[in-house]
Amino acid sequence: MRRVHQPYADAFAHHHIDLSAPGVEVMIAAQLRDVGLVTLDGLTSRSAVLAFATRIMNLVPHRDSETDGLTTIRDTHRHARRAGFAGFGNGGLDPHTERSGTPHPPRLMLLVSGRAAVRGGTPLLTDGRAVHADLFLGDREAGAALTQPRTAFFGAGDGHATQVFTVHRDERVSVRLRLDSLARWNPIVEPHLPHLRAAAVRHQIPLALAPGQGYLLDNERWLHARRAFTGDRLCWRALGEPRFPMPRGFAPIPEVAAPPILTEVG
């Protein structure tokens, strides 16, 4: 299978933007529109994370957020075995889209390390553009099946019927994925799930974070995961809509012809 993407040797440095730079909001907006990922540092407290998040996005409250709009991500020692709550344990997480089981997942996700794990816990990021290209160049049948409308149902009883790749009217593509027990699949895509999972893992980029460091990603383009960990790891997360224009998803690589079907149905 053709490799269409190589992880950066130092993904944090490659995507880093200095928050003290003049016009930093414009720089962040441009980089998110271009590659969908920004790395940051100097956010050493919850209040600093919140102050930065509100400069970039309109926070979206949800089940797990607290009164200020942020979510504290740590091992609670009581949620790990509950479907949809694995992020509050200490196990590894499969590549996924944040809030995949809602009609309109938030466009941006910010995650900042407040305290590192004793061992493990490294975030793993996957560019959905690379997964899309991998499948269409290496197994076009899989790519086409995963673009068929309403071939996946993500979430519990109040979840959402959707598809992994959504093609918009301008031929840009969004990705939406979860691979846990709250994902149900149409039989036409089930044979292709091993290829999808393999591609999502093959293109993962490890992004070790020290306290105060974090990443901001386009939730329609990048999938995120993490390695299992030990210790009292703590992160702060913000979800929201950008305070600047962003086109939907990503433009497929030139070698991938536009899929034959429009799937702009969520």
The CATH number of residue 92's host domain is 3.60.130.10
* pLDDT for 4 beyond 50: no
Residue 36 contacts by C-beta under 8 Å, 6 or more apart in sequence? 127, 217, 218, 220, 221, 222, 250
Q: Is the dihedral of CA 129, 134, 139, 142 positive or negative?
A: negative
pLDDT class of 37 with cuts at 50, 70, 90? very high
Query: For 177-221, how does the pLDDT look when each residue is reduced to its tens digit (9 = 90+)?
Result: 999 999 999 999 999 999 999 999 999 999 999 999 999 999 999
- Give all strands (DSSP E) within the chain, no chain letters: 37-40, 57-59, 71-74, 93-96, 108-115, 119-120, 123-127, 152-154, 160-162, 165-167, 173-175, 183-185, 204-206, 214-218, 222-226, 229-230, 234-242
- The amino acid present at 124, given as its one-letter code, is L
pLDDT class of 132 with cuts at 50, 70, 90? very high
For residues 39 and 82, give the distance between their C-alpha atoms in angstroms, rounded to a whole number. Answer: 31
CB distance 174 to 81 below 8 Å: no
In a domain, 148, yes or no: yes
DSSP letter assigned to residue 259: P
DSSP letter assigned to residue 86: G
In a domain, 6, yes or no: no
**Phi, psi angle pair for 130, to nearest 5°:** -70, -40
The position carrying tokens 């790395």 is 39
pLDDT class of 6 with cuts at 50, 70, 90? very low
* pLDDT for 257 beyond 70: no
Beta strands 93-96 and 222-226, pairing class: antiparallel
For residues 199 and 148, give the distance between their C-alpha atoms in angstroms, rounded to a whole number. Answer: 18
How many CA atoms does the CB half-sphere of 238 hold within 13 Å? Answer: 25
Mean predicted confidence (pLDDT) in 46-50: 97
In a domain, 261, yes or no: no
Give the residue numbers spanning the domain of 55. Answer: 11-242
In a domain, 141, yes or no: yes
CB atoms within 10 A of CB 234: 18
In a domain, 177, yes or no: yes
pTM for this structure? Answer: 0.92
Question: For residue 56, which of 29, 96, 19 has the smallest C-alpha distance?
Answer: 29
**Phi, psi angle pair for 175, to nearest 5°:** -110, 145
In a domain, 99, yes or no: yes
Q: How many domains does the chain have?
A: 1
Three-class SS of residue 183? strand
Query: For 140-172, how does the pLDDT look when each residue is reduced to its tens digit (9 = 90+)?
Result: 899 999 999 999 999 988 899 999 999 999 999
In a domain, 72, yes or no: yes
In a domain, 255, yes or no: no
Mean predicted confidence (pLDDT) in 18-41: 97
Q: Is 120 exposed, middle or buried (0-12, 13-18, 19+ CB in 10 A)?
A: middle
